[in-house]
Amino acid sequence: MGRKIRIGALLILVLVMIYTQQAVIYAQNEAEKNMKKTTESENSDGTNGEDKEQEKPGGEEGDKDKEPEQPEIKRYELEISKADGKNGYYLSKPSVMITHNGAYGTTVYELKHGEDTLLQGRIKYIVSQEAEEQKTKISLEGEVFEEGKNILHVFMEDEEGNVIPEYDETIEILIDTQSPTVTLEAPEGFPTWYQKEAWIRVVSEDGAWGSQVDTVICYVGNKIIGKSKENQSEFLITQTSKSGEGVPVTVTVTDQAGNKTEKTQKLFIDSLAPTVSLTGAADYLITSQPVTLEYQATDENELESCRAVIDYEKPEGEKKTEVIDSEEKWSLKNGSASLVKTFQEDGIYKTSVQAVDKAKQKSEHFLQFMIDTKNPVIKMVDELQGKYLKKFSWDYPVDVFIKDFTTFVHQIQMDGRLYPIGTEIDTEGRHTLQVNAIDAAGNEAVARAEFVIDHTPPKIQFYQVEEGAQYEGILNFQVDSRKKEDWIEEVLINGKRQTLKKEDGKYTFQITNPGEYEVSVTAADLAGNEAEENISFEIVPEKTILEKAAAPIQKILSGKTEKEQKNRQGEKENRHFAML
């Protein structure tokens, strides 16, 4: 409404200016006519007869034969500001200047938008001879123009009102100052979590008078996902969220004029189910001691819910089930949850931990153990579960690791064979220790533990670098242990400790400065074995193309043979080993 009022006020102002100008012109015209009439009257009664004779020496007959001169009508001048958009469009309202030249003719202009006439006017001046070169200007700008196609028609008429064809032109002025509107849509809305991937729908509009949509581009971060020229487009997003943060999806829509609209939304995508675990007891553990279990659930993003389910059967056969899913009992922190529970009563426990993430992906893990304080209780075996040792020897007294109120018999097996107490085992590999105990009443207890004997130092592997080698420019090399259960403890480059960060399963390092380098790597394993490897090499500045091309010629000119080069290399290696 405000815009229409401003346009109306401006039109009224322009019309008043034109009317005022025409009134002045009309007054000047009448004054000149009266002056001419007065002059003709004076000439007719002889008052200026002598002047007449001087001005027209040829006499009256000469004036009759001479034809009157035709007035010269000068073409108007039309100045239009340069389009500041694409495809001839104006992104801001243009400025148009119409200049009427000289004293004759009439300049006519009309501005239309569709079927509507926005503005029209006539410019005509009758001026004295002293002001014959005077110019009159009319400026069209700003709110006079409308969005879309504006047609400006400018032409001239002669003194009789006839249109002069060569002074007639029509100009098309395309205006689009508004950016396209953009709406982003997701199947279940943007706050919803999606599994593995999600489609987004882009709806863009540029209005009835706009230049219309030219290009739609979808980005994830700085990566282009797709392009389209349609008003309605769909793009598949597969990048997953991290640490609960949404994936920023940006859509840029550009119209034919060059106006651009950018909109960003965050999509929440989770491709992995939660990781769950139960720690504190081996599966099928039988023990006389209280068992403290830690129920754990983690997700790379956010967890929706966690719960622990405990099925408990007493020695008398009574059964009950307990479900713990209250957030107050779970400890939640940074996409992970944990619950600690201690079990003390005799019985059989079958328990599980369940977790669901925001994308509705579910994981579950089960564990079974038994607490029996009345049957023989085998101790210390469960402490061996999962251990890595350099060697093993079970030399505890029987009454230390088997407890019962009655007499009992027992049997110890190592890897399925009878094991004499005190025998040292140093054979590398996975071993199983099993202890059986039966009391006088026939109650039987079994304890089993798996452990690993490992007394071999871990192996260190270097990639993309060799001992004593020389490299040009930048060197990227990698270090890792050969066994995935081993790890790199420390990496020193020329004595300086390096920050360890794995990329693609290996520790990657980059050296850019020329010089001699020594890399020292220390690795360790679960059994406490350690190993250290060292490697030396040299980085030299990278040769230019001209140096590489001239190398064969320099070799010939200097008389260096291949044998001499090998000798120098050998001397260099000897110096290196001497330093070591």
Q: Write down the residue that tokens 């400790």 correspond to.
A: 497
Average pLDDT over residues 488-517: 85
pLDDT at 408 over 80: yes
Tell me how far apart the alpha carbons of residues 249 and 271 are, in angstroms, rounded to a whole number.
17
Q: What is the pLDDT of residues 41-83, one digit of tens each?
A: 333 344 344 343 344 444 444 444 555 566 788 899 999 999 9
Give the pair of three-digit tokens for residue 409: 């018999």
Q: Report pLDDT for 61.
A: 46
pLDDT at 237 over 90: yes
- Burial code (b: 16+ CB inside 10 Å, e: under 16) for 70-105 equals eeebbebeeeeeebebbeebbbebbebebbbbbbbb
Q: Write the DSSP assignment of 122-174 as a string of letters.
A: EE-----GGGTT-EEEEEEEGGGS-SEEEEEEEEEE-TTS-EEEEEEEEEEEE
Q: Is 554 exposed, middle or buried (0-12, 13-18, 19+ CB in 10 A)?
A: exposed
pLDDT at 353 over 90: yes
- Nearby residues of 344 by Cβ (< 8 Å), 6 or more positions away: 290, 371
- Burial code (b: 16+ CB inside 10 Å, e: under 16) for 427-460 equals eeeebebbbbbbbeeeeebebbbebbbbeebbeb
> ∠ CA 329-333-334 to the nearest 5 degrees?
150
Q: 56 near 62, Cβ under 8 Å?
A: yes
Q: What is the pLDDT of residues 112-166, one digit of tens each?
A: 999 999 999 999 875 544 444 556 889 998 889 999 999 999 999 998 889 999 9
Tell me how far apart the alpha carbons of residues 520 and 578 are, in angstroms, rounded to a whole number.
18
For the ranges 98-112, 114-128, 181-195, 339-353, the lowest mean pLDDT is seen at: 114-128
Q: Report pLDDT for 320.
A: 94
- Nearby residues of 488 by Cβ (< 8 Å), 6 or more positions away: 460, 479, 480, 481, 500, 507, 521, 522, 523
Q: How confident is the model at residue 39 (pLDDT cuts 50, 70, 90)?
A: very low
Q: 418 near 354, Cβ under 8 Å?
A: no
For the ranges 102-106, 219-223, 317-321, the lowest mean pLDDT is seen at: 102-106
Give the pair of three-digit tokens for residue 88: 């001839």
Residue 558: strand pairing partners? none
Q: How confident is the model at residue 580 (pLDDT cuts 50, 70, 90)?
A: very low
pLDDT at 95 over 70: yes
Q: Report pLDDT for 48.
A: 40
Q: Report pLDDT for 6.
A: 61
Highest mean pLDDT of the ranges 344-348, 403-407, 504-508: 344-348
Q: Report pLDDT for 315.
A: 76
Q: How confident is the model at residue 11 (pLDDT cuts 50, 70, 90)?
A: low
pLDDT at 312 over 80: yes
Give the pair of three-digit tokens for residue 431: 């071993």
Q: What is the pLDDT of residues 525-544, one digit of tens each?
A: 888 888 889 999 999 988 77
More confident residue, 474 or 372: 474
pLDDT at 264 over 90: yes
Provide, rounded to the nearest whole percent, the portion of the chain with pLDDT above 90: 45
Q: Report pLDDT for 131.
A: 47
Q: 450 near 432, Cβ under 8 Å?
A: yes
Instruction: Estimate to the nearest angstrom the gap between the alpha carbon of 65 and the chain centroid.
Output: 88
Q: 150 near 112, Cβ under 8 Å?
A: yes
Q: How confident is the model at residue 4 (pLDDT cuts 50, 70, 90)?
A: low
Nearest partner of 467 among 517, 509, 512, 510, judged by Cα? 517
Give the pair of three-digit tokens for residue 244: 């609960």
Provide, rounded to the nearest whole percent, the portion of the chain with pLDDT above 70: 79
Helices within 60-136 (DSSP H only): 60-65
Average pLDDT over residues 195-200: 93
Q: How confident is the model at residue 554 (pLDDT cuts 50, 70, 90)?
A: low
Q: What is the pLDDT of residues 436-487, one digit of tens each?
A: 998 766 678 899 999 999 888 888 888 988 898 999 888 888 898 888 878 8
Tell me how far apart the alpha carbons of residues 7 and 118 are, in angstroms, rounded to a whole number.
9
For the ranges 59-68, 96-105, 319-328, 555-564, the lowest mean pLDDT is seen at: 59-68
Q: Report pLDDT for 51.
A: 41
3-class SS of residue 112:
strand
What is the length of the chain? 580
Nearest partner of 523 among 469, 458, 580, judged by Cα? 458
Tell me how far apart the alpha carbons of residues 173 and 83 are, in angstroms, rounded to a whole number.
9
Q: Report pLDDT for 390.
A: 85
For the ranges 25-39, 221-235, 545-559, the lowest mean pLDDT is seen at: 25-39
Instruction: Estimate to the nearest angstrom the gap between the alpha carbon of 330 and the chain centroid.
Output: 35
Residue 350: strand pairing partners? 311, 368
Please state the pTM of the whole predicted model.
0.49
As a whole number, the mean pLDDT across the chain is 82
Q: 204 near 180, Cβ under 8 Å?
A: yes
